[in-house]
Structure 1
């Protein structure tokens, strides 16, 4: 594996974790949203990942001969959670139904913060990987001088 491939793998991890952090912050911002453009309460969202090759088709053909199969990660998509909404009795709320209940998204702050900490740690690990590759590259340049 060359230095650029290692950087590509680290960069793919950074993009994936950034997308996760964006979705988590969107969930946290909409924790009390009872009406969206679609008409109902906000639905919690999550990010799906998949393994993604980091090589071009030519590189893949060459690496098949070397029996190397390196992958990064890419965001497959953002999906809406199918949890049922929380019903809260608030008869004076403008979005209350005829029985006085308001539907809120089922978003748990502690759960979201845990996911945020996990994504932050993943982001930091990818940053450290990129920093290590840069240090190795600089050391290799010093050897050649």
Structure 2
């Protein structure tokens, strides 16, 4: 392991968690997006993470929720079909909020590791300069 590998590993964690937070933000912002039954529902994004063989984590891809969504009976909605149905996202807000907390904590942990590594490297440079 090289001298700056810890920073690379923590940086990859920051990047993955930021991507996860961005996806969750879009999901939560679109939780109440209603579309007509002729359209596909808003598809929530789920980040797929994988371990990097050199250390750290990478975003392997993004999975999308069911485009069929959920049919909701709301005959007063302007997008309702002749039977009174609209299409809503197939998304569990409880799960989205739980994942938001996990992603925030992961981001905070990665940021703390980055700060610790920077402090350690700075101390080592100061000791070496004496």
TM-score, length basis structure 2: 0.87
CA contact (8 A) 1:34 1:40 kept: no
Aligned twin of 1:27: 27
Task: Report whether the alignment pairs 1:44 with 2:44.
Answer: yes
Aligned twin of 2:96: 112
Q: Which runs of 5+ in 2 are unaligned?
A: none
Quote the offset at 1:31 in angstroms.
0.9
Tell me, what secondary structure is at the counterpart of 1:49?
Answer: strand
Quote the offset at 1:84 in angstroms.
5.5
Give distance in 2, aligned partners of 1:20 and 1:108: 16
Tell me, what secondary structure is at the counterpart of 1:35?
Answer: coil
Aligned twin of 1:63: none
Task: Report whether the alignment pairs 1:96 with 2:77.
Answer: no
CA contact (8 A) 2:35 2:86 kept: no
Give distance in 2, aligned partners of 1:30 and 1:12: 27
Quote the offset at 1:83 in angstroms.
7.8
CA contact (8 A) 1:7 1:130 kept: yes
CA contact (8 A) 2:13 2:56 kept: yes
Aligned twin of 2:121: 137
Give distance in 2, aligned partners of 1:42 and 1:85: 7
TM-score, length basis structure 1: 0.79
Give distance in 1, aligned partners of 2:106 and 2:84: 43
Quote the offset at 1:17 in angstroms.
0.2
